[in-house]
Structure 1
Amino acid sequence: MERFTTGRIRNVALLGHSGSGKTTLVESMLFAAKAINRQGRVEDGNTVSDFEPEEHRRGTSLQLSVVPCVWQGTKVNLVDTPGYADFAGEQASALRAVDAAVLVVSAPAGVEVGTELAWQRLREAGTPTMVFVNKMDRDGADFEAALGQARSALGRGCVPINFPIGAAAAFSGIAGVLKGDAPGDMEAALSEAKEQLTEAVAETEDQLTERYLEEGDLPLEDIERGLRRGILDRQIAPVLAGSAITGAGVADLIEAIIDYLPSPDRAGERAASVGGEEISLPANPDGPLAASIFKTAADPFVGKASYFRVLSGTMRPNQEVFNSTRNESERVGQILVPVGKVQESVPDLAAGDIGVVTKLAHAVTGDTLTTRTDGVQAPPLEFPEAVYSVGVHPKSQADLDKMSSALSRLGEEDPSLVMRRNGETGELVVLGMGDTHVDVMAERAKRKFGVELDMRVPQVPYRETISKTTNTEYKHKKQTGGHGQYGHVLIRLEPRERGAGFEFGAQVVGGNVPKEYIPAVEKGVVKAMQEGADGFPMVDMRVVLYDGSSHSVDSSGASFEIAGSMALKQGVRAAAPVLLEPIMRLQLTVPESAAGAVVGDLNGRRARINGMTPQGGVAVIEAEAPQAEVQQWATSLRALTQGRGTMRLEFDHFGEVPSHLTQKIMEATAAR
């Protein structure tokens, strides 16, 4: 592929609700640009941007894909993203790589949940955006309705710059608002749309406002200049129509991307830092090298492929660069340009362009490649919080041997997956965005690394404590040939406040238990507490050694350790043991209309609602709930809120398990 200067590059992400036609639109744009000879179909599994077997099987995008096309000398890097909420992390990665976005809306369905969520992410990221109303050829397509929904849900800045001619079976083409090429029966609608567009443009600059008020109109060059400024400042989101299937309106979309969306050198300087000091980084090909890795692909044969955006400078092949995030040197070999799953070699990439390097030794997603002299570092990539948990187990010994390595590689590929070992249960727990997210992870582990995983509801790290004070005595006495064993202790068990932890004390008088054996008693007590009375670690209690006896010949540290251990086990039964469970703190943001259903569902999960605050159409709910009830609740929340609810989840404290559930938990634990 040829070289492109920074001003002749556009980096654009496609976002929208799942099924709105993003992947088909990418395919149609490639076909229009003559980058492919035949337009593929999602249903046939032969599109350029959906190339993973898991995507073919499900008929939907599961990861971002970079596909460039060239239109009249300008390179447009299209970044196709999944619309399904479980893969929101891919959208976060994509937005690091681009300067603008196209929000795809289905004309028959209108603005959907995924549309609103994508718009919210674009607003938070400050990404200039166009809206493309797709599927105008489908039954039920209604551009006016979709436009009205967009203006209502996304803002009054959504103004059309072209209109469809007809709809559904009668859809025959596109009429431009500024081109004056409308059929006679559409002149009034386009005239009104031009007036709306002119008013929106006039509001972007004081000079344009004055001119519009004085003259009642603006010349075409002022409208186009103001439109670019309004898009860049996120005051205007132009709306276009078309059909990715028929291709109508697709060339208009590409031209609008090139004409109105910013090139990297006009998109504004990027935030970065050098030595902890914040700087602004212009997209200057002659500036200091800085490239941000926004995606990693794990391949068991080729190795690691790192997708990067050149923020500044020029990336050249066969050079040593500095990973300023890891403080490590990296060797760059070939510079490649991704075209879906295919990669083409290029001589270099200027600031603003997107490329791939393979086999970097240390780099992961979010890292910055620079030179040791410059030391530039881009801000860290932030991913949505993973709130759906599964316990992961190998299906065989062969799988066990490969599991850790495979999961580590998959975690590099998808940083929105969080993997941690539970120190109490010993179980490996994977957290993702939802059940589909972790299912896809398991499928990839099998396909890429030959590892079969068994995924279960995670084990809950229960604990035990006592609820009343008791005294207990245990004498360990064993006589064999030669020296025997003798250790005799009297201990007191006392409950402590929740979270106070364990404390051991000695109040022995008269030397009945020699001082040198007291640490052995404590060691035995601590060892017995690890398994408790019912197999769970014990916490929040004080054990006091207050008396005992010893034998001048048979006593030893080992004997008193056994005595301490057995005394604790014996005493716990008499001290009214209770089971404790981890309680999680939840912060939920849900539509006000769904708040009642969400609270009702939480109440059925033994939750305690601490507060609910309305905030502009949504309710923020603060609650506490047992981990056992909410570790896979993310899917229920999605159903209760039609996908509009979000959740933050973190450990808060341990609380007492209701007595009627204790036996059931004991039986389930014993059955493992």
Structure 2
Amino acid sequence: MGDKAHIHPGAAGRAPAADRPASVRNVVLVGHSGSGKTTLVEALALTAGAVNRAGRVEDGATVSDYDEIEHRQQRSVQLSLVPLEWGGYKINLLDTPGYADFVGELRAGLRAADAALFVVSAAQEAEAVAGTTRTVWDECAAVGMPRAIVVTHLDTARTGFDEMTRICARIFGGDDPDAVLPLYLPVYGAEGPDGHAPATGLVGLLSRKIFDYASGERRENPPGPGELPRIEEARNRLIEGIIAESEDETLMDRYLGGADIDVKTLIEDLEKAVASGAFHPVLAAAPAPPGARQGLGTVEMLDLIASGFPTPLERPAPAVTTPRGTPRPEIHCDPQGPLVAEVVKTASDPYVGRISLVRVFSGTLRPDEMVHVSGHGLTDRGHEDHDVDERIGALSSPFGKQQRVLAHCVAGDLACVGKLSRAETGDTLSAQDDPLLMEPWTMPDPLLPLAVEAHSKADEDKLSQGLARLVAEDPTMRLEQNQDTHQVVLWCLGEAHREVALDRLRSRYGVQVDAVPYRVALRETFGESSAGRGRHVKQSGGHGQFAICEIEVEPLPPGSGIEFVDKVVGGAVPRQFIPSVEKGIRLQAARGVAAGHPLVDVRITLLDGKAHSVDSSDAAFQTAGALALREAAGDASIHLLEPVAELAVLIPDEYVGPVMSDLSGRRGRVVGTEQAGPGRTLVKAEVPELEIGRYAVDLRSVSHGTGRFSRSYARHEPMPPAVADRLRAQEEASV
């Protein structure tokens, strides 16, 4: 790893290519916002020779060529792939956003990767590490994904490397903190004017060598006598941690008996423990100073990735079925096997159109071949089902905004595919004559509503197409055409996610939209029994209109809907017109009788009426039925009903009190709590939907980013009079 003679890098400007799965390493970078993931990727690219000292390749592209939205947002908002070459290995670095709103991009990176680098900043507080990062760590642990930790920002650290290592061991190590130990210790230079001493090198604990980066290039030196005690203490603990995970059960006895375990054996056991996900080394990193060729710790990191992280051959592939759900045999990472690839990201380029980032799990993908596109649909999120054949375009390898042409993409590798006009994120590409569908990965449920309207008539014509393209790129976004409120609603993961959606609609798809207040689906009902008479009599030459009906309305229990009862006797209303009365009543009920919300939970009884042998008609009795219902409503108290949601909030135990207090402040009723694993509690509550429009944002604040929740509709129930009065006042003020 870093204690070996480091491997020669590849040449700048060349697109790395892989001809066999064993030469590929797919690594996702995970970390909280501001932890330095992208800066680390740039430093690794410099060390690997993918860029020159100015951070550029021959044609001027840079690894930091973000799109315009990321420049405006001042944050990473999407998954990006940076392929490097190191000692004959192709390393695909998947840089993910650190902000919680873009966890969908993170999940896509996890799907495409075989190992993870967790990047933590010594310049931030421990809470930032313990939030979303801990959740992702647990997800990786559940599937046995190998993980290493990189501590950054040692040049501006609030927390020292040793202290941050202890924090990581506590947060990530769980019951086995000795599974999280440093491979290297930083060496610090002279203190600057601010009293801070920058890290200038690393101590290799296994080799007992100093790797000095002070000159901008990595040099090996022996440690000084004053450094040996610190090295030996950390080295002994590291050796014990490695031996504890070793497959050779005799090593521990030999070590405790005083035997000197050779470094080669320790490195081999370390690599096996890292690849199996049993041991998580901690490394240190700092960006290269101006003019330098290597950033601190980058050689050690690339060596760890190349020799300690698994190949795609060692990671099981997701399950596959036919598009109709019939199970198929397990697929393997074999370039000669059946073609199975998955779209892990979809993007639009103004010049070349849609570009799909694809991970090939089996077979070999070649340009201009026909493939079958199978999709799970996700119709609840506005994604149509896919089961079509398409011809793919060119294959390419990205670098910033540039795309380098590839001749093929073997199993285990990643590539960008052009001209897939129907494929969306999460879709499966397979052979035309053997269509397959991969098991989908878990997507977070978007729970922050954004109601939008077209800004102008011209935008109205482009809105539906723009929204369709938006959700095609982002499966974490849900598009809803609300039938009750007649609003177009984009459900997002948070405020930053919402702002990016609006930005993309405007800048990428040319659609100007206005964000409008989100409305919940209210209902109306009668608070008491009432009667009404509908009289529709008109005479204007020729056939007139004549219909009279008398009704009685009485409230029913919640959930009863609308019940229509016919009690007409003596043919006062001819039998053929009774369905007309019911139709008119139901149409009026759907339009509302007071505030314009649908009427529910009432029994409407038709008691009497009058008809004319010539002038009565279906339309006349429909109108009379509607007039009767409106008159009955005018003489009764009408109650507003609001929807109530069932919330299930999963939080660490220390936030149970603040979360329950917050729910109570939202007129919520906590109906129970239960343990949901070590240190976590599931709080169940019923809360009016009017009070949880921003709960996706507010819960993140209350729980310091550690909580998540799900919601489902429970029922409608009467709104408190004070709340109803306030709502009516707001509606009147907005008119």
Task: Please say whether Structure 1 and Structure 2 have the same fold, judged by a TM-score greater than 0.5.
Answer: yes
User: Residue 179 of structure 1: which of 196, 201, 207 is its match?
Assistant: 207
Q: What residue number does 2:660 align with? A: 599
Alignment match, 2:17? 3
Once the two structures are superposed, the pairs formed by residues 197-236 of structure 1 within 5 Å of their partners are 197-205=238-246, 207-216=247-256, 218-236=261-279
Give CA-to-partner distance per residue, 1:110-155, whole Å, 9 cap, x none. Answer: 6423432332333345321110111222243511100000000000
* Aligned match of 1:164: 186
Matches within 5 A, 1:536-575: 536-575=597-636
> Structure 1 vs Structure 2: percent identity of aligned residues?
36
Alpha-carbon separation, structure 2, partners of 1:13 and 1:39:
25
Find 1:126's aligned residue among 135, 144, 155.
144
Partner of 2:728: 666
Say yes or no: does 1:584 pair with 2:645: yes
Give yes or no for the alignment of 1:255 onto 2:303.
yes
Partner of 2:705: 643
Task: Indicate conservation of the 8 Å contact 2:61/2:400, yes or no.
Answer: no
Distance 2:261 2:315 in 1: 25
**Is 1:70 the counterpart of 2:85 in the alignment?**
yes
What amino acid maps onto 1:86 in structure 2? Answer: D
| Alignment pair present for 1:620 and 2:661 | no
Q: Matches of 2:499 and 2:82 in 1, distance apart? A: 26
Which residue identity is paired with 2:463? M
1:449 alignment counterpart: 509
Q: Offset of 1:39 from its aligned partner?
A: 4.8
Within 2, Cα distance between the matches of 1:453 and 1:122? 39
Cα pair distance change 1:50/1:542, threshold 3 Å? farther
Hey, what does 1:479 align to over in structure 2? 539
What is the distance in 2 between the residues matched to 1:175 and 1:215? 22
Q: How many residues align?
A: 668
Checking the alignment, whether the CA contact within 8 Å between 1:309 and 1:355 is kept in structure 2 is yes
**1:148 and 2:166 equivalent?**
yes
Q: Closer, same or farther in 2 for the Cα pair 1:118/1:186, shift >3 Å?
A: farther
Other-structure match for 1:17 = 32
For 2:516 and 2:668, the matched residues in 1 are separated by 23
Task: Provide the secondary structure at the position in 2 that maps to 1:442.
Answer: helix
Q: 1:243 to 1:303 in 2, by over 3 A?
A: same
CA distance in 2, matches of 1:59, 1:124: 33
1:602 partner letter: L
* Secondary structure of the corresponding residue to residue 268 of structure 2: helix
Contact 1:26 1:49 in 2 (8 A): no
Residue by residue, what CA displacement relative to the aligned partner does 1:595-648 show, whole Å, maximum 9, x if unpaired? Answer: 222222222211111112344323321111111110222211111111111111
Q: Name the CA shift for 1:339/1:532 in 2 (closer, same or farther; >3 Å).
A: same
Q: 1:651 offset after TM fit, Å?
A: 1.8
Query: What SS class does the counterpart of residue 214 from structure 1 fall into?
Result: helix
Q: Tell me the residue number matched to 2:285.
A: 242
Deviation at 1:516, TM superposition (A): 0.9
Q: Which moves more between the two structures, 49-58 or 243-252?
A: 49-58
1:658 Cα offset (Å): 0.9
After TM superposition, the structure 1 stretch with the greater mean CA deviation from structure 2, 173-182 or 471-480, is 471-480
Aligned-partner residue type, residue 214 of structure 1: R
8 Å Cα contact 1:420-1:430 kept in structure 2: yes
Unaligned runs of 5+ in 1: none
Residue-by-residue CA offset, 1:32-58 (whole Å, 9 max, x unaligned): 1111113559xxx99624511222233
Tell me which residue corresponds to 1:308. 358
Counterpart mapping for 1:293-442 below 5 A: 293-325=343-375, 326-442=386-502
SS of match in other structure, 1:279: coil
Residues 476 and 374 of structure 1: is their aligned pair in 2 closer, same or farther, counting only changes over 3 Å?
Answer: closer
Aligned to 2:292: none
1:52 and 2:52 matched = no
Q: Is the 8 A contact 1:50 1:56 kept in 2?
A: no
1: CA distance between counterparts of 2:457 and 2:544? 44
Change over 3 Å in CA distance of 1:624–1:89 after alignment to 2: same
> SS in structure 2 opposite 1:172?
strand
On the 8 A contact 1:300/1:449 being kept in 2, the answer is: no
Q: Secondary structure at the match of 1:131?
A: strand
**C-alpha contact (below 8 Å) 2:40/2:285 kept by paired residues:** no
- Aligned residue for 1:571, secondary structure, equals helix
Match of 1:657 among 719, 724, 727: 719
Q: 2: distance between equivalents of 1:117 and 1:49?
A: 27
1:443 counterpart SS class: helix
TM-score by length of 1: 0.95
Is the 1:138–1:169 Cα contact (8 Å) retained in structure 2?
no
For each residue in 1:523-567, what CA deviation from the matched residue of structure 2 results, as whole angstroms up to 9, or x when unmatched? 111121122222111112121112122222332222222211100
Offset at residue 332 of structure 1 (A): 1.5
SS in structure 2 of the partner of residue 595 of structure 1: helix
Aligned partners of 1:449, 1:265: CA distance in 2, in Å? 40
Distance 1:598 1:583, change over 3 A: same
CA shift in 2, pair 1:120/1:141, >3 Å: same
Q: Find out whether 1:463 has 2:523 as its counterpart.
A: yes
Distance 1:480 1:409 in 2: 53
- Deviation per CA, 1:469-493: give whole Å up to 9, x if none: 2232233223333433221211111
Q: Which amino acid aligns with 1:67?
A: V
Q: After superposition, give the CA deviation of every residue in 1:223-260 in whole Å (9 maximum; x if it has no partner).
A: 23322332233211111112134411111111111110
Contact 2:51/2:62, CA 8 A, preserved across alignment: no
Residues 248-280 of structure 1 show CA distances to partners (whole Å, capped at 9, x for unaligned) of: 111111111111001111234443335621533
Per the TM alignment, residue 319 of structure 1 is displaced from its structure 2 partner at its CA by 1.0
Q: Find out whether 1:108 has 2:123 as its counterpart.
A: yes
**Structure 1 counterpart of 2:550, from 467, 474, 490:** 490
Letter paired with 2:680: V
Q: Quote how far apart the aligned CAs of 1:408 are.
A: 1.2
Matched, 1:288 2:302: no
Q: Distance in 2 between matches of 1:2 and 1:248?
A: 24
Q: Post-superposition shift, 1:211? A: 2.8
Kept in 2, the 8 Å contact 1:418–1:430? The answer is: yes
* Counterpart for residue 192 of structure 1: 233
Q: Say if 2:523 and 2:600, in contact at 8 Å, map to a contact too.
A: yes
